[in-house]
């Protein structure tokens, strides 16, 4: 499990990788002050097939996570904390 705060400092994420029978996915809890927390599940299998050939698996999964959290103000650098 890992945590991250976006550059704006207004959203805190707890990220856990879960391995299930259907395949691995990220279980994410997003917390913002004054707003009820949100839960997201981002499946590794949602990665676009054409990009799978061009990157190693770990980078591909990290890029997918960063793209999924971009709408909440997170960047790839925020997730490396």
pLDDT mean over 69-76: 93
pLDDT at 55: 65
Could you report the per-residue pLDDT of 5-59, keeping only the tens digit for each? 999 999 999 999 998 887 788 999 999 988 999 999 988 776 666 555 666 777 7
Which of 2, 5, 44, 38 shows the shortest CA–CA distance to 26?
Answer: 44
pLDDT above 80 (res 2)? yes
User: Higher pLDDT residue, 62 or 12?
Assistant: 12
Which of 71, 20, 27, 65 shows the shortest CA–CA distance to 47?
Answer: 65
As a whole number of angstroms, the distance between CA 22 and CA 13 comes to 24
pLDDT at 50: 59
């Amino acid at each position: 499990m890992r945590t991250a705060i976006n550059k704006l400092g207004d959203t805190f994420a707890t990220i856990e990788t879960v391995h299930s029978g259907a395949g691995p996915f990220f279980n994410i809890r997003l917390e913002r002050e004054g707003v009820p927390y949100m839960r997201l599940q981002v499946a590794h299998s949602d990665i676009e097939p054409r990009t799978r050939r061009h990157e190693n698996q770990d980078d591909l999964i990290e890029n997918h996570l960063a793209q999924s959290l971009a709408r909440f103000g997170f960047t790839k650098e925020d997730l490396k904390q």
